[in-house]
A and B are shown apart, each in its own frame.
Chain A
Amino acid sequence: MAGLNDQAQWIVLLGLIISLGIFFLAIILNQSILVGQTTAESVLEFPKSDIQDLRSEVRFLAWDTTISAGDRTNCTKDIVFLALERKSSVINITPGTSSTNWIIHYNNGVTEYNEQIIYWDF
């Protein structure tokens, strides 16, 4: 050990500090990719478009002046039936009258949405 060259210790220490810096940058990069993935997963899981689409169709049924009451009942039955068969979600629609509001219930097993539609926003 006596012949070991122990000069340039300062630059060795600097090398250590710089490599530690790169190491922490790598951790940040690693985390950022995970964040993108989990965000995308939660966006895909949340049925935002399903609910918007359901509201849009209910608005169509409520505003259509040419449709008869029997046909409207058939249309809501269609929605309930097809949602259960094809989208595995449970939907219940209570049609409104001139004095009561339309009420929708939506549940796809993960997300539940209930609304008494007072304001028909888009």
Chain B
Amino acid sequence: MVDESCGQIYTIEGVAAAILMVTTTYLVLSTTIILTPGETHITDMQLEQLGYDALAVLDTPSEYGTQSRLSDYIQNNKKIEFNQYLLQLLNTRTDLPYDTLSYNASVFYRNSTDSLNYYSFSGSQYYRQNSVKVTRWVGIPDAVSAVSDMRSGDQTVLLEVLIWRD
């Protein structure tokens, strides 16, 4: 019998290299799929927290017993002030340039006939960009005079804000 057992390490190397290449290809592909633009959970999470924080800042009175800014904006229908202050909270960074977040806000309320109604509060037109929705309960001491079917007296309305990055 002719001993032809030399070169065995080449065979081992060949098999090992094949396994390595196939597995590495699989790993690279699966990693890349996770990083596609459709996978936006992490940025969504950051955007949602930023939105809730901005609304919480707006809805915190500057001193005990006074009305919060957000409550005042909604009750007196001050859309321009709301727009200005919310955009400032959302887009300010530690350095220029400003961030490019946009929003679209609506106010939902229970009307005088016990059903749901809403009106647009302010913000940019929403064209189905990838957005997150944040909400805030706002207590207002009396009905918004610009809205016809609101009950009078104290009430709690729901402010819904869609936020997206242009």
Contacts and interface: CB of A to CB of B under 8 A. Distances in A.
Interface of A: 1-2, 4, 6, 9, 12-13, 16, 19-20, 23, 26-27, 29-30, 33-34, 36-37, 40-41, 43-44, 49-50, 52-54, 56-57, 60-61, 64-68, 70-72, 74-79, 81-83, 85-87
B127 interface: no
A61 B139 contact: yes
Interface in B12-55: 13, 16-17, 20, 23-24, 27-28, 30-31, 34-35, 39, 41-42, 44-45, 48-49, 52
Interface residues of chain B: helix, strand, loop or mixed (majority): mixed
A44 B160 contact: no
A40 B110 contact: no
Closest A-B pairs by Cβ, 3 of them: A71-B154, A57-B137, A40-B41
Given A6-B9, A30-B27, 10 more contacts: A1-B7, A2-B6, A4-B6, A16-B13, A23-B23, A26-B27, A37-B41, A53-B136, A86-B108, A87-B158
A1 B45 contact: no
B151 A74 contact: yes
B48 A49 contact: yes
Contacts of B30: 30
A41 B52 CA distance: 17
B10 interface: yes
B108 A1 contact: no
B116 A82 contact: yes
A90 B10 CA distance: 68
A75 B9 contact: no
Contacts of A49: 48-49, 52, 134
B88 to A, nearest CB: 21
Nearest to A41: B41
B154 A72 contact: yes
Nearest to A71: B154
Contacts of A70: 153
B6, B137, B139, B157 — most chain A CB neighbours (10 Å) = B137
